[in-house]
Amino acid sequence: MIYLDYCATTPMSDYVKDVYVTVASQFYGNLNSLHDVGYEASNILEQCKRQIANLLHIDPAGIFFTGSASEANFLTIVSLALAHRRKGRHLITTKCEHPSVLSTFRYLESQQFDVSYVPVNSYGQVSVDALMETIREDTILVSIAHSQSVLGTIQSLETFAEPLVTYDILFHSDCTQSIGKVDVPIRLLHSLTMSGHKINGPKGIGLAYIDPAIQWEPFLSGVTQQSGFRQGTVDIPSVAAFTAAIEESFQHRTAYDQHITKLHHQFKEKMMEWPMILEGHPSNRLKHHFGLRLHGMEGQFVMLEANRAGFAISTGTACSSSHHEPDPVFAAIGRTKEEADQFFRVSFGISTTEQEFNAFIDFLQQLIDRKGEPM
């Protein structure tokens, strides 16, 4: 099977696996234990925080580890909203966010917060004017992902920083799809979240960062681990492997960019010959990500045919059932249910070879030829 679903998850690298096995074998203590074995585990955690902080240019005191980026999104956004609710209860996000972010805001709505969903253009981008029109006197937090997992569009977060600073509004971004692949303006954010398994690290480990200068309130009271941010014993082997994955992604960034750019341009040139639509922004996007629609074909059909031919791709989150509404992302950018059902996503990584990619291009060409031009 040729794997082309890197936006869903990535395989662990050999280096990351070696780090995980080594730490799991040699530093297995509970970091809260008072003996030397516990101290060794605690020391590994602090070393990892410092290493990540150096790579991302953040304060290690603001780093918290979670079981996933989804959990990190929930705990971060809720902790910030709770801490600043006396100033206001108005929150802003978009309908193009990850489901974990959207579900978090639905939860906050149930807790008497008022949520506004700033409109986006047909590429899924937020404009400064649209954001300014959504801001109110009681707005306390804005959450906009740096890059969108379905469309691949990268948001220009830099353009939002000045107005948010002016109005003293907290700025959070889900950077799960971006870290290690593209530059992220972390210095402009009050908080961010990311995941290990998107950068060739382990599953079951996420990271939340909250600027230590920003007040936050724990979601659960009485929690002693990680300054009260999240309960439970920290998984030190996964933290070490996650750290190794971040380190490796930064070390190999130049080689990654060159390889991904070459495959990206190769695929875009071929697309011009096909009855195919690229969703998301044509240039300001993740280069390893292609969200596509073929006229006259459902995305689920393309995915199943690809699977039969030995290629792993995805259909995004568009639902093909007639009694369901389109994914919120597609509704937000003005697509019909029929158009949403045509969507499929191809995403590749550093280990994707040109031979594998050419084989997939040949598969798509044969699929298009077999179906013929749509009416």
Domain ranges for the chain, please list them: 2-7+252-366, 14-250
CATH of domain 14-250: 3.40.640.10
Active site residue 319: yes
Q: Are 151 and 180 in contact (CB under 8 A)?
A: no
Question: Average pLDDT in the 147-171 region?
Answer: 95
Place of tokens 């996420």: 206
> What's the pLDDT score for residue 157?
96
Q: What is the pTM of this model?
A: 0.94
DSSP-assigned letter for residue 97: S
279 phi, psi to nearest 5 deg: -85, 160
Question: Average pLDDT in the 360-373 region?
Answer: 87
Q: Is the pLDDT of residue 323 over 60?
A: no
**E strands along the chain, which residues?**
2-3, 63-66, 90-93, 114-117, 139-143, 170-174, 191-195, 206-210, 276-279, 289-294, 311-312, 343-347
Alpha-carbon gap, residue 174 to 194, rounded angstroms: 7
Share of residues in the chain with pLDDT > 90 (%)? 88
Q: Is the pLDDT of residue 326 over 80?
A: no
351-366: b (≥16 Cβ within 10 Å) or e: ebeeebbeebbebbee
Best CATH choice for the domain 2-7+252-366 from the list 1.10.3720.10, 3.40.50.300, 3.30.429.10, 3.90.1150.10: 3.90.1150.10
DSSP codes joined into one string, 305-325: HHHHHTEE-B-TT----TTSP
Residues 60-109 pLDDT 10s: 999 999 999 999 999 999 999 999 999 999 999 999 999 999 999 999 99
- Sign of the CA dihedral with 29 first, then 31, 33, and 34 last: positive
* 276-279: strand order across its sheet: 276-279, 289-294, 343-347
| Mean pLDDT score of the chain | 94
Residues 179-224 pLDDT 10s: 999 999 999 999 999 999 999 999 999 999 999 999 999 999 999 8
Pairing of strands 2-3, 311-312: parallel
Task: Classify residue 222 as left (phi > 0), alpha (psi -120 to 50) or beta.
Answer: left
Catalytic member of 7, 48, 175, 319: 319
DSSP-assigned letter for residue 212: T
Q: Read off the tokens for 307.
A: 């699977």
Element (H, E) at 101: helix 99-110
Task: Classify residue 279 as left (phi > 0), alpha (psi -120 to 50) or beta.
Answer: beta
When pLDDT is cut at 50, 70 and 90, the band that residue 374 belongs to is very low
Pairing of strands 90-93, 139-143: parallel
Alpha-carbon gap, residue 118 to 13, rounded angstroms: 38
Alpha-carbon gap, residue 310 to 2, rounded angstroms: 6
> What's the pLDDT score for residue 324?
56
Q: Hey, what amino acid is at 148?
A: Q
